[in-house]
Amino acid sequence: MEPYTSELEVLRNRIPRRHSPDNVKEMNNITDEYEQILRNVEAIDAEYEKHTANLFADLDPIRAKIKMSTSNKASKKMKDQLFDEASGSLKDSLQNLLEILV
């Protein structure tokens, strides 16, 4: 599990906290990479598959918040708040997977 834990640590450290167009792109990339790691861990065996199911469910709300943070209708404050919530949720989800792998 060491390769996955080190990859997850790298991803977690890359998560930006401030909203900007570049950071939105980075968050989307990190979320995609995280999903691929989840798929790889899920494929290991039935026990990991059971534990990762909830983590897959976390991805849609995270992606939705990232997308909403780019809405032209949202205020700057709302964009920042949505992005901050998405980055916090992604960090939490990454941490949960790290705990499963340890």
> Residue 61 pLDDT > 70, yes or no?
yes
Higher pLDDT, 3 or 31: 31
Encode pLDDT of 17-54 as tens digits: 899 999 999 999 999 999 999 999 999 888 889 989 99
Cα 12 to Cα 46, 52, 68, 77: the distances in Å are 26, 17, 21, 24
pLDDT category at 98 given cuts 50, 70, 90 is: very high
Query: Judging by beta carbons within 10 Å of its beta carbon (0-12, 13-18, 19+), is residue 38 exposed, middle or buried?
Result: buried
- Percentage of the chain beyond pLDDT 90 is 84
Let me know: does 23 contact 58? Beta carbons within 8 Å. no
